[in-house]
């Protein structure tokens, strides 16, 4: 009970969680600070980066390079390609470190997150600058990513105190009972490239603050930002071996990790195909494995915005364009389907087209750019093929559709109207700047089309009719439903994030139950010896 009281005292001293504010780059000091940060980060281009296992830096291996997707001739850095032997070593080091890290009080574990958040806040523009160069985020998108990473650190630190505190259980007279949450063990964290700081930091910090240790396998498209984050954690006081940084291919590093019998859980964000592969491999129980591996997966979406005839069409069109083309449509929450009531279809299509044409495409390191490149050559080719497929299947190209691959991987924001709801670009996740627009007979038909997908991540409805909004709340089957606003931009603590069906395990990142996924519950009961009530009873006792 004294331990619980101490935790409560610390919680009361912590300020109430508040989301990190976004930077206003319209203000000259902020603009100059970002320009200076980009200049600073450019000075680091071309370096070689090591593996980090137990705090030890390991180099001298085969390596792969990351490039600037806006300027594909520019090599940003060289990263080691871990061997299976080194992956196994990282798991063993993490397992050894777990025995001491799990015994650290929550004050120490949460303290690392809070210190890391403070350091990240001081250097936020430099971290954003890395993402601008490494994955092609515009200033605003990179700044939002960094702010979300700070939010995860701050939010999960506070949540850790709550789970370390006294839990509500029914009291009885004959026993004292406690429910405590204990960590799972060694986890594999496999983050995506599209939110390479926020999601990576969120999964990693959730694991370590709950007492687990981690082998972090960064995305091959975004290892630089992950390495910088590991350095940040070390500076914040994280001991060696708690988070081990192991770069390399999915086949060599990823599969070795997820198949290892000492891996207790896997936190993954990425494609449906890879997520299902991880889930299948994790379900196997190799010799020496003592548990059923836990999989925490977020696997993408085919998100829709419904536009009813009873709504503000300007607002709806603006929300569709922002949701479809923010970070070049490379978000699992992006609007890739616009489902529009036939009564307002033509007007909304034209509004969407005009707003899309107004987007300023350019190199993301330039402040004026609103729309940058896609992440790599593979994505560039795949997205182009989807555009052609959409046209061949009867879609009407309204705007965009051109690819500009001479200098970088640029594809114009593309709107294809009159799409068959069962067509390829209406059903498959493109993960790029392609919006499929479909006509619905009425609101009933729009809901039917919206739900006619194997995914269930985000969705939005624009209508001024309260009865239709109520129906959407009941019938639109997604994990994050937005009414009369865009379907992207979830805030930590405000919009717990995660979806249904093939969108993943509904993990609800940034929500109050997320840390439970990295914990297991243990009930402890102590029998109370009854006090003797008479002299005779005392003698007999």
Give residue-wise pLDDT tens across range 102-145: 999 999 999 999 999 999 999 999 999 999 999 999 999 999 99
Going 371 to 376 to 378 to 381, the CA torsion angle's sign is positive
- Cα torsion for 476, 482, 484, 486, to the nearest 10°? -120
Using only C-alpha atoms, the chain has a radius of gyration, in whole angstroms, of 25
pLDDT band at 507 (very low <50, low <70, confident <90, very high): confident
The H or E element spanning position 124 is helix 124-134
Tens of pLDDT along 339-387?
A: 999 999 999 999 999 999 999 999 999 999 999 999 999 999 999 999 9
Which is the catalytic residue, given 126, 134, 141, 298? 298
192 φ/ψ angles, rounded to the nearest 5 degrees:
-95, 175
Among residues 104, 360, 328, the alpha carbon closest in space to that of 238 is found at 104
Domains of the chain are: 31-299+511-524 (3.40.605.10), 303-483 (3.40.309.10)
For residues 456-483, average pLDDT = 98
Alpha-carbon distance of 176 to 525, in angstroms, equals 6
pLDDT band at 95 (very low <50, low <70, confident <90, very high): very high
For residues 482-486, average pLDDT = 98
| Residue scoring higher pLDDT (249 or 309) | 309
pLDDT band at 529 (very low <50, low <70, confident <90, very high): confident
Rounded percentage of the chain residues whose pLDDT exceeds 70:
96
Let me know: does 208 contact 238? Beta carbons within 8 Å: yes
Q: Catalytic: 332?
A: yes
CA–centroid distance for 151 within its chain: 12
pLDDT at position 50 is 98
Give me the residues paired with residue 361 across strands.
Answer: 371
What is the chain's mean pLDDT, rounded? 95
Q: What does each C-alpha distance from 448 to 138, 419, 421, 442, 467 come to in angstroms?
A: 35, 15, 10, 10, 17
Tens of pLDDT along 255-301?
A: 999 999 999 999 999 999 999 999 999 999 999 999 999 999 999 99
Tens of pLDDT along 204-224?
A: 999 999 999 999 999 999 999
Alpha-carbon distance of 72 to 305, in angstroms, equals 34
Give me the residues paired with residue 243 across strands.
Answer: 214
For residues 2-19, average pLDDT = 70
Q: What does each C-alpha distance from 428 to 10, 73, 341, 423, 478 come to in angstroms?
A: 48, 31, 22, 9, 16
Beta-carbon contacts of residue 410 (< 8 Å; ≥ 6 apart)? 70, 361, 372, 373, 374, 403, 404
pLDDT band at 506 (very low <50, low <70, confident <90, very high): confident
Which is the catalytic residue, given 148, 332, 412, 487? 332
pLDDT at 405 exceeding the cut of 80: yes
pLDDT band at 251 (very low <50, low <70, confident <90, very high): confident
pLDDT at position 244 is 98
Q: Catalytic: 298?
A: yes
pLDDT at position 541 is 46
Q: Which two tokens stand for residue 216?
A: 């972090």
pLDDT at 305 exceeding the cut of 70: yes
Alpha-carbon distance of 189 to 206, in angstroms, equals 10
Alpha-carbon distance of 275 to 272, in angstroms, equals 5
Give me the residues paired with residue 305 across strands.
Answer: 338, 460
Q: What does each C-alpha distance from 189 to 264, 387, 481 come to in angstroms?
A: 11, 33, 27
33 φ/ψ angles, rounded to the nearest 5 degrees:
-65, -40
pLDDT at position 9 is 59
């Amino acid at each position: 009970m004294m331990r619980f009281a101490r935790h409560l005292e610390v919680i009361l001293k912590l300020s109430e969680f508040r989301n990190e504010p976004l930077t206003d780059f319209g203000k000259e000091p902020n603009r100059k600070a970002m320009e200076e940060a980009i200049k600073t980060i450019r000075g680091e281009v071309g370096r070689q980066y090591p593996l980090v296992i137990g705090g030890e830096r390991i180099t001298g291996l085969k390596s792969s390079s990351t490039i600037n997707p806006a300027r594909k001739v520019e090599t940003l850095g060289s990263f080691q390609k871990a061997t299976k032997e080194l992956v196994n070593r990282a798991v063993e080091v993490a397992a050894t470190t777990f025995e001491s890290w799990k015994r650290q009080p929550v004050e120490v574990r949460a303290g690392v997150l809070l210190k890391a958040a403070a350091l990240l806040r001081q250097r936020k523009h430099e971290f954003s600058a890395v993402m601008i160069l490494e994955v092609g985020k515009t200033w605003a998108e990179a700044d939002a990513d960094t702010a979300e990473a700070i939010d995860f650190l701050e939010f999960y630190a506070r949540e850790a105190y709550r789970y370390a505190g006294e839990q509500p259980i029914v009291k009885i007279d004959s026993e004292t009972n406690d429910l405590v949450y204990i960590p799972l063990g060694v986890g594999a964290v496999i983050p995506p490239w599209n939110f390479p700081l926020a999601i990576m930091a969120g999964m990693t910090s959730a694991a370590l603050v709950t007492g687990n240790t981690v082998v972090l396998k960064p995305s091959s498209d975004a290892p630089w930002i992950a390495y910088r984050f590991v350095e940040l954690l070390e500076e914040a006081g994280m001991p060696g071996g708690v988070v081990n940084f192991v770069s390399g291919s999915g086949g060599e590093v990823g599969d070795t990790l997820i198949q290892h019998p000492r891996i207790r859980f896997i936190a993954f964000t990425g494609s449906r195909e890879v997520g299902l592969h991880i889930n299948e491999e994790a379900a196997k129980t190799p010799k020496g494995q003592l548990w059923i591996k836990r999989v925490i997966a977020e696997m993408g979406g085919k998100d829709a915005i419904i536009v009813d005839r009873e709504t503000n069409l300007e607002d709806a069109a603006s929300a569709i364009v922002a949701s479809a083309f923010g970070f070049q449509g490379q978000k699992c929450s992006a609007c890739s389907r616009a489902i529009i009531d036939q009564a307002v279809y033509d007007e909304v299509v034209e509004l969407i087209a005009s707003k899309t044409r107004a987007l300023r495409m350019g190199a993301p390191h330039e402040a004026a750019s609103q729309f940058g490149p896609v992440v790599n050559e593979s994505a560039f080719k795949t997205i182009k093929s989807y555009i052609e497929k959409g046209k061949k299947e009867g879609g009407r190209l309204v705007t965009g559709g051109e690819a500009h691959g001479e200098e970088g991987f640029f594809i114009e924001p593309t709107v294809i109207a009159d799409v068959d709801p069962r067509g390829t670009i209406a059903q498959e996740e493109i993960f790029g700047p392609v919006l499929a627009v479909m006509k619905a007979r009425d609101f009933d038909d729009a809901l039917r089309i919206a739900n006619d997908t194997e995914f269930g991540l985000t969705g939005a409805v624009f209508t001024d009719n309260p009865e239709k909004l109520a129906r959407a709340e009941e019938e639109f089957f997604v994990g994050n439903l937005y009414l009369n606003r865009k379907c992207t931009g979830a805030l930590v603590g405000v919009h717990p994030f995660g979806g249904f069906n093939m969108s993943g395990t509904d993990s609800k990142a940034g929500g109050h139950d997320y840390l439970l996924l990295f914990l297991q519950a243990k009930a402890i009961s102590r029998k109370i010896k009854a006090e003797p009530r008479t002299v005779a009873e005392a003698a007999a006792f």
